[in-house]
Amino acid sequence: MSDGFPHQLIIFGPPGTSKSYKARKKKAGLLGVEEEEIIPVTFHAEFSYGEFVSRLLPLTTAGKVHYAVHAGPFLRALAQAYLRLLAAGDDPPAGNVVLLIDEINRGNCAEIFGDRKS
C-alpha cells in the first residue's frame, strides 16, 4: 500500500461527476490494482447483509432441491485477498484487492454491514 493512501476512501459529489470512473481507473490504479482485482457492488434500499456477505440459496437440479452458499462481494473480495496472500508465500503480497461500493448512501448501512440490532 502506498504511504499516505487510506485503506478506506469515500469519493463524494453530485450525480454524473465520474466518481465511479475515478475510483475504478485512477484511485485503484494508484494501488497498482488491475481490473480483475476490483470487486464492484452497488447498494440500494433493499440490499441486505446476506447479499453483501453471503446467503444460502435453494437450487433445483433434475427435479431435486439442494442448497448452495452464494458468496456476496465482501466474501469474494476477502477470498481473493486471502488467496493472493497464500500465493505470495514468504514474499510480501503482490498487490491489493479493491471492494468498490457504489451508491453507499442509498442502502441501509446498519443492515448491510450487520450492525442492526434485531
The rounded distance, in Å, linking the Cα atoms of 81 and 95 is: 9
Q: How many CB atoms lie within 10 A of CB 103?
A: 15
pLDDT at 1 over 60: no
The β-bridge partners of 102 are 42
pLDDT value for 118 = 55
Q: Around 15, how many Cα atoms within 13 Å sit in the side-chain half-sphere?
A: 3
Q: Extract the C-alpha cell encoding 60.
A: 433445483
pLDDT digit string, tens, across residues 50-79: 999 999 999 999 999 999 999 999 999 999
Using 50, 70 and 90 to split pLDDT, how confident is the model at 46?
very high
Phi (first) and psi of residue 88, to 5 degrees: -70, -25
